[in-house]
Amino acid sequence: MKIAILSRNQNLYSTRRLYESAIDHGHEAHIIDHLKCNIEIEQKGPALYYGEEYLTGFDAVIPRIGASVTFFGTAVVRQFEMMNVFTAVNSRGIIHSRDKLRCLQVLSKEGIGLPKTVFTNYSKNVKHVVESAGGAPVVLKLLEGTQGLGVVLADNMNAAQSVLEAFNGLKARVIVQEFIREAKGADIRAFVVDGEVVGAMKRQGKPGEFRSNLHRGGSSQVIELTVEEKYTAILAAKAVGLGIAGVDMLQSERGPLVLEVNSSPGLAGIEKTTQEDIAGKIIKYIERNVNR
């Protein structure tokens, strides 16, 4: 097979692992910077121009689209789809996952466990908003935030009101979310490929930090998921429409609660923690879905 890996940096761990794994499985692999593609749309059919040539003959594409370039990145993925190339992560799923509010709405419709979440159009009655999310402490999240950026824990009602009023004054879109105390600053990352959990780790925030992101100094360890946790992760990925997904969950007294579904989950943390060949499982997923 001829596989395109869409990535802006060929030296990233995830990009490098996918490339190496594709080669190891006997395929031809190309790393393509999606921001340098020209999308050509005309009556004779869709085309992509890159560098000094047209991108032709590809059987599959693995998108690694960063949050800051979602619009153009998904346009390139969609163009590959129009060219009848199998996409390991489809453009619709990427768009759904990147819109945090929409993602939560989709998950809620499917009856998937979630922390109680409130979103308003800059409501001036911020006290009611906080109370609707279960009261302080609450977590406030910027809709555009990634890797723990733009996430604030407000310990009491006064702090919650002040932070929410400040965000509203800046016209920053935020969601107010129930704080799950029993999670104790830890969450679960379940890595789903083709409807199966292929790896899972528990991430713990550093002392004094409620955010568990590894980018922010958190630690990780292998975890054996319960049947309910596996089912929740698989259902969440399916609901958002992702063949590959990182599903972040909290362990709560009422069962697993999904925080986010990531369409471009990094491989470094999950592979190093679990010692599983996740990149290889992604290539095998592509092999199962591409008919030659």
Give the domains, in start order, of the chain with CATH numbers. 2-89 (3.40.50.20), 117-179 (3.30.1490.20), 182-263 (3.30.470.20)
Please compute the mean of the pLDDT values over residues 157-176 and round it to a whole number.
90
DSSP code string of 86-112: EESS-HHHHHHHHSHHHHHHHHHHTT-
> CA quadruple 230, 231, 233, 237: dihedral positive or negative?
positive
Query: Minimal CA–CA distance to 214: which of 140, 115, 148?
Result: 148
Give residue 150's pLDDT band: very low, low, confident or very high (50, 70, 90).
confident
Lowest mean pLDDT among 116-120, 201-205, 213-217: 213-217
> Edge-to-edge strand order for the sheet containing 151-154?
117-118, 174-178, 138-142, 151-154
- The predicted-structure confidence for 15-57, as pLDDT tens digits, reads as follows 999 999 999 999 999 999 999 999 999 998 999 999 999 999 9
Please compute the mean of the pLDDT values over residues 266-275 and round it to a whole number.
95
Instruction: Output 67 or 148, whichever has higher pLDDT.
Output: 67
* CA 2 – CA 18 distance, rounded (Å): 13
pLDDT at 241: 96
Residue 87 has pLDDT above 80, yes or no: yes
Asked whether the beta carbons of 256 and 250 are under 8 A apart, the reply is: yes
pLDDT at 184: 86
DSSP 8-state symbol, 241: T
Please compute the mean of the pLDDT values over residues 189-205 and round it to a whole number.
94
pLDDT at 151: 87
pLDDT at 210: 58
pLDDT at 207: 64
* CA 219 – CA 275 distance, rounded (Å): 15
- Entry pTM: 0.89
Query: Minimal CA–CA distance to 256: which of 270, 235, 278, 238?
Result: 235
pLDDT at 197: 98
pLDDT at 106: 95
Residue 130 has pLDDT above 70, yes or no: yes
- Percent of the chain whose pLDDT exceeds 70: 93
167: left (phi over 0), alpha (psi -120 to 50) or beta: alpha
- Percent of the chain whose pLDDT exceeds 90: 78
Residue 234 has pLDDT above 90, yes or no: yes
Please compute the mean of the pLDDT values over residues 259-275 and round it to a whole number.
95
* CA 40 – CA 225 distance, rounded (Å): 45
Question: Per the structure block, which two tokens stand in for 101?
Answer: 């509010």
* CA 271 – CA 14 distance, rounded (Å): 10
Residue 192 has pLDDT above 60, yes or no: yes
